[in-house]
Structure 1
Amino acid sequence: MPSSPPRSGDPQISLSSGGQISERALHFLKALIERHIRDGQPVGSRTLARDAGLDLSPATVRNVMSDLEDLGLVSSPHTSAGRVPTVSGYRLFVDTLLTVSPMDDALLTEMRSGFAPGAESKALIESASRLLSGVTHLAGVVMVPRHEREMFHQIEFLKLSGTRVLTILVTADGEVHNRIIHTEHEYSPSQLQQASNYLTELFSGLDMREVRKRLLEDLKQTHRRMDELMMRAMAMAQSLVAAAEPRDDVMIAGQTNLLEFAELANMERLKPLFQAFTEKRQILDLLDRCIEADGVQIFIGQESGFELLDDCSLVTTTYRVEDRILGVLGVIGPTRMDYQRVIPIVDVTAKLLAAALRQP
């Protein structure tokens, strides 16, 4: 909806949504979000006027609050006359109003000490996730370097009796996974060998998560050039790949820190969120979206695309060695996380992890 008409002497600033917001309203929005980040409560007009440091009448403050609500930047919960920021409000705050200060020297020294010299990469990644969690009091997440993930090497289908088929999956490091599958039709050994050759050639050298992703995508589509045997072979492979997919492609620490935030601390919200932390697949999908991005990336609420993270924000950045991106790290917390403090912590942790991984 459009905002109220501009007031004399109050410049207007265009929003990406096409609306207009005055500099005074921006000032109030910043004060409102900073207050909400501190205490997590809806912000009333009196509190906002005091925090903003402006000598304005309550009616004027209410008008500005109404403008912000019309622009979709704040909303009014049913239980309170105060306002809280919306995802759009947080986005405007992060992109336009946030000032990130240099990190305190004492904190930087503390963070440097969190990485043991000469430690193996897995230990360093675990240290990074614990460090992110401990310093921010949020959940720390660190993607394992891609070159350390399990890679698909070969798959074999061996005929047993009747419609029983032994499916064998071999990873690049020699780990073997197998499962007996009951098929709808009986296949000859030559047909199963043909299917094995096809899938091995198609997926060899890919990490297991990419194999699973491509299998799911292919199974959802109709391929006129793919015969029935190959489609069934892909379905058989999918069940084995899903079981064999490693769960340690991302290190997560500090999930219980989220219990400290009232808006997240109820079973209805925590159960699916903690399930995602356990399965890790959706978290990894989100981190994968950040792998090619430059600088710090911030997903606020519904921007993540995952419903279970609608009440959360994710702040990430890549870590790299010799200009080669190895992975992504970051934190997950409520949408009212202290972005001003969290952003430099995530950025510095990426640099410290990269420096530790470079050490012989």
Structure 2
Amino acid sequence: MSVSDDRRLHVLRAIVQDYVRTSEPVGSKALLERHQLGVSAATVRNDMAVLEEEGLITAPHTSAGRVPTDAGYRLFVDRLSAVKPLGRGERSAIERFLHGAVDLDDVVARTTRLLSSLTHQVAVMQYPSLSRSTVRHVELVPIGGPRLMVVLIVNTGRVEQRVIDTGRELAPDADLVADLRSRVNSVSVGLPLPSVPARLDALLEDVAPEDRHVATAVARALADAVAEQSEERVVLSGTANLARSGNDFPTSLSSVLDALEEHVVLLRLMGSMATLDGDQVAVSIGMENPYEPLRTTSVVATSYGDAGGLGVVGPTRMDYPQAMAAVRAVARYVAEILDG
């Protein structure tokens, strides 16, 4: 990169930072007053003219100020040397808040509230995907008479319970329950959920004929629990933050809100952006979004472990470094909790 290119990148970065902070078009005078650019006013004006010719900034009206374009935000994000980690206090607060969760639903609810609070954007989290979830344990608990509680525990922490009537008194058959528990776990633990029903069907063939109806009832209850898990869901928090940024959506806020209500759209969006390795964070800006109603927004997303995606949606006038750092940090803690 030449000296002039490097200088213009500094000017662009300053324009992005000022516009994100103030929501007002940025002029050369303001840049010189707020930033140590080390050049003359004429040089700054010339650099802004070049940036405008390259489509990186534009004049929203006849004022002397300029605002970043989608392409300008993209260059700004691409040239971030690294995502600055959150401060120790913020990281400690995230850990304390998330580790207070009592179950998966609470983890998801806390995560979206936390992300929305940290970024002042709309937080979106995909429930752990069925295709990526595996069986951690199956428990069978006699609860009196012929009734048996079947408990499916998934690696992401989700728990499904079913109470079945086995058709016979179980108290004298403690060995049967223990044997079924052992057999079921031996063929299902570690398996992806979609493959569990077929393995359970094969298991029934090895059960003694007089016990097969009990084993069949257990297998059906587990199949029902797996089917219940198959519904892909997303949870949102902080949609009111969009209204507070209403000036960033002069004509399209209602269409953005409608799009956020379409969970299928969000699932596809999270799925397409959150297939990343390690600490990578994906950023989709404005017209880069594949869904028309979201082309006035930016999406910052990543994956949490192998389970699903989470991120934030907000106006293109977004504090990208802070949003990226928050999304990455929260995803790390969520992955630790669900893997723990």
Aligning the two structures, in what range does the TM-score lie when normalised by the shorter sequence?
0.5 to 0.7
Alignment of 1:7-22 (within 5 A): 12=2, 22=5
- Structure 2 distance, partners of 1:293, 1:330, is 13
- Structure 1 residues 309 and 351: alpha-carbon distance in aligned structure 2, compared to 1, 3 A threshold: same
Structure 1 residues 139-179: Cα deviation after superposition (integer angstroms, max 9, x where no partner): 11001111289xxxxxxxxxxxxxxxxxxxxxxx9xxxxxx
Alignment of 1:1-360 (within 5 A): 12=2, 22-97=5-80, 99-117=82-100, 119-147=102-130, 249-264=233-248, 266=250, 268-294=251-277, 295-320=280-305, 325-359=306-340
Q: CA shift at 1:52, angstroms?
A: 3.2
Structure 1 residues 261-283: Cα deviation after superposition (integer angstroms, max 9, x where no partner): 243355x3221111112222212
- Matched residue of 1:289: which SS? helix
- Structure 1 residues 247 and 131: alpha-carbon distance in aligned structure 2, compared to 1, 3 A threshold: farther
What CA RMSD, in Å, does the superposition of the two structures yield over aligned residues?
A: 2.8
- Structure 2 distance, partners of 1:126, 1:248, is 16
Contact 2:274 2:310 in 1 (8 A): no
- Structure 2 distance, partners of 1:117, 1:33, is 37
- Structure 1 distance, partners of 2:257, 2:327, is 22
Q: Which has the higher helix share?
A: 2
Contact 1:117 1:356 in 2 (8 A): no
Residue aligning to 1:183: none
- Structure 1 residues 43 and 247: alpha-carbon distance in aligned structure 2, compared to 1, 3 A threshold: farther
Q: CA shift at 1:293, angstroms?
A: 2.5
Structure 1 residues 124-147: Cα deviation after superposition (integer angstroms, max 9, x where no partner): 112111110111111110011112
Which ranges of structure 1 fall in alignment gaps of 5 or more residues? 1-10, 14-20, 150-172, 174-204, 207-245
- Structure 2 distance, partners of 1:329, 1:73, is 29
- Structure 1 distance, partners of 2:239, 2:231, is 16
Contact 2:101 2:107 in 1 (8 A): no
- Structure 1 residues 277 and 118: alpha-carbon distance in aligned structure 2, compared to 1, 3 A threshold: closer
- Structure 1 distance, partners of 2:32, 2:80, is 18
Contact 2:302 2:327 in 1 (8 A): yes
- Structure 2 distance, partners of 1:115, 1:56, is 47
Structure 1 residues 55-106: Cα deviation after superposition (integer angstroms, max 9, x where no partner): 5443332211110011111111124221111111111111114553231111
- Structure 1 residues 54 and 279: alpha-carbon distance in aligned structure 2, compared to 1, 3 A threshold: closer
Q: CA shift at 1:51, angstroms?
A: 2.8
Contact 2:121 2:242 in 1 (8 A): yes
Contact 1:247 1:279 in 2 (8 A): no
- Structure 1 residues 97 and 50: alpha-carbon distance in aligned structure 2, compared to 1, 3 A threshold: farther
- Structure 2 distance, partners of 1:82, 1:145, is 45
Q: CA shift at 1:39, angstroms?
A: 0.7
- Matched residue of 2:307: which SS? strand
- Structure 2 distance, partners of 1:32, 1:314, is 21
Q: CA shift at 1:248, angstroms?
A: 6.3
- Structure 1 residues 258 and 79: alpha-carbon distance in aligned structure 2, compared to 1, 3 A threshold: farther
- Structure 1 distance, partners of 2:126, 2:330, is 13
- Structure 1 residues 102 and 288: alpha-carbon distance in aligned structure 2, compared to 1, 3 A threshold: closer
- Structure 2 distance, partners of 1:349, 1:60, is 42
- Structure 2 distance, partners of 1:270, 1:90, is 20
- Structure 2 distance, partners of 1:59, 1:116, is 54
Count residues in correspondence. Answer: 248
* AA at the equivalent of 1:254: G
Which ranges of structure 2 fall in alignment gaps of 5 or more residues? 133-159, 161-193, 196-229
Structure 1 residues 272-300: Cα deviation after superposition (integer angstroms, max 9, x where no partner): 11111222221211111124233110001
Q: CA shift at 1:250, angstroms?
A: 0.6
- Structure 1 residues 121 and 55: alpha-carbon distance in aligned structure 2, compared to 1, 3 A threshold: closer
Contact 2:259 2:294 in 1 (8 A): no
Q: CA shift at 1:358, angstroms?
A: 2.3
- Matched residue of 1:35: which SS? helix
- Structure 2 distance, partners of 1:116, 1:251, is 19
- Structure 2 distance, partners of 1:148, 1:118, is 24
